[in-house]
Each structure stands twice: as C-alpha cells, then as structure tokens.
Amino acid sequence: MSEDVTMQQLVELLPARIWYLTSNGTDMWCRRPYGFLFSTGQAAETFAKEMGTGEELFAIGMDAGALISDAILSGLRDTAVTRLFIDPAIDADSGDVHGKILRLSPLT
C-alpha cells in the first residue's frame, strides 16, 4: 500500500477475524520489524511450520477491530514492529517472505 489509509479503511481491508502466531498465548511472535497476520488459523500455523523457527507456535484469533486499538498499536510500536504482513507466503526457492505489508507510522 503506497498511500495512507484511515483506520476505517484499514478495518475494511482486514478480515473480520485476524489470526497471529504466539508461543505463550498472548504475545505476537514476530521478526522485528515485521509482524505477521493471517486470515485463518490454519494459514498461520502452516506459515509457522514453513518458517522453521524451532519454536512451538500456535495461532490465536481476534476481532480485527481490536487489533487496531490504541493499546495494541502502541504495543507493536514499542516493540519495534513497524510492518505487518497480511497473509504472507514464503518463496519456495529463496525462502523470502512476501505479501501485502501494512506500515505502522510512528506517532507524531
């Protein structure tokens, strides 16, 4: 996405329920500066296996509207997550992750 979007537009871009990977049941697993969000829990867990992180990761679903709360967005920024992949995929040849990325702008 090359243009700024409003919060409402962001919610409309996401599925009603969004999934993320975690190892402890609360904190989002990420590779700073990237976080990863998925349309389904199965897609999230498949991605985790393909990444081969060596961690026991599982998917947790949440309402997409809750994702864009000030508390969660602030938490992402505070942990240096500035880009969120939506339904990422792994290139079989290179191992690179690709897909739609949402950029979190710093608060000004």
The pLDDT of residue 66? 84
For the segment 17-36, what is each residue's pLDDT rounded down to a tens digit? 999 999 999 999 999 999 99
The CA distance from 103 to 84, in Å, is: 6
Residues of the chain with pLDDT under 70: 1-11, 107-108
State the pLDDT at residue 97. 94
Range 7-103 has CATH code 3.40.1350: yes
User: What pLDDT score does 107 carry?
Assistant: 62
User: Which residues neighbour 16 within 8 Å (Cβ) at sequence distance 6 or greater?
Assistant: 63, 64
Q: Does a cis peptide bond (omega within 30 degrees of 0) precede residue 33? A: yes
What pLDDT does 29 receive? 94
pLDDT at residue number 77: 87
Using one digit for the tens of pLDDT, what is the confidence trace for 2-13? 445 555 666 677
pTM attached to this predicted model:
0.84
Where helices occur in the chain by DSSP H, the ranges are 7-13, 41-51, 64-67, 70-78
Q: Are 88 and 43 in contact (CB under 8 A)?
A: no
Domain boundary assignment for the chain: 7-103
d(CA 39, CA 20): 9
Tell me the sheet residues that pair with 60: 20
